[in-house]
């Protein structure tokens, strides 16, 4: 009996993940340079900035336009259900503590999971 194996990741999905991570990186880098970015505390006490929220909104907008049937899970907004069996996983700013303290050690993370598990991932490390 032959086991089912995952198909190779679709290059278009990989390119898309990398492209939108870069786009989020440009947005967060622009906000990183602004001294007045608002900072709030989440329920768990960790910081969340306007940059986190704006970057996640941007990522969700791009995914919703290009892959409207896919689910989306992010850190800052409610999960979006999908019909395709695929889920995009977002961390708009991984390293928010560094971001709020002016340390350019953060990343914008985007991943796609399908019925076989993790399929693709894209990240951007926007250093000023």
* Mean pLDDT, residues 96-104 taken together: 91
DSSP assignments along 59-115, one per residue: HHHHHHHH-TTSEEE-SSS--B--SSS-EEEEEEEETHHHHHTT----EEEEEEEET
Q: How many domains does the chain have?
A: 1
pLDDT value, residue 9: 58
Residues with Cβ within 8 Å of 54's Cβ and at least 6 positions away in sequence, in order, are: 27, 31
* Mean pLDDT, residues 35-56 taken together: 88
Residue 28 in any domain: the answer is yes
Decide which of 118 and 127 is more confident.
118
Decide which of 128 and 50 is more confident.
50
SS3 28: helix
Which tens digits make up the pLDDT trace of 56-96? 999 999 999 999 999 999 988 889 999 999 999 999 999 99
The answer to whether the pTM exceeds 0.85 is yes
pLDDT value, residue 106: 96
- Best CA proximity match to 91, nearest among 108, 78, 77, 79: 108
Residue 3 in any domain: the answer is no
Residue 74's domain comprises 11-124
CATH of the domain at 28: 3.30.540.10
């Amino acid at each position: 009996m032959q086991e089912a194996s995952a198909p190779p990741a679709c290059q278009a999905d990989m390119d898309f993940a990398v492209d939108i991570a870069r786009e989020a990186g440009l947005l967060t880098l622009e906000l990183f340079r602004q001294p007045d970015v608002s900072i709030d505390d989440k329920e768990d006490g960790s910081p969340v900035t306007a940059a986190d929220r704006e970057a996640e909104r941007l990522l969700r907008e791009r995914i919703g336009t290009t892959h409207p049937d896919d689910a989306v899970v992010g850190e800052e907004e409610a999960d979006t259900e999908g019909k395709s069996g695929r889920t995009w996983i977002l961390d708009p700013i991984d390293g928010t503590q560094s971001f709020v303290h002016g340390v350019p050690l953060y990343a914008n993370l985007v991943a796609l999971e399908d019925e076989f598990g993790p399929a693709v991932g894209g990240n951007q490390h926007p250093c000023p």
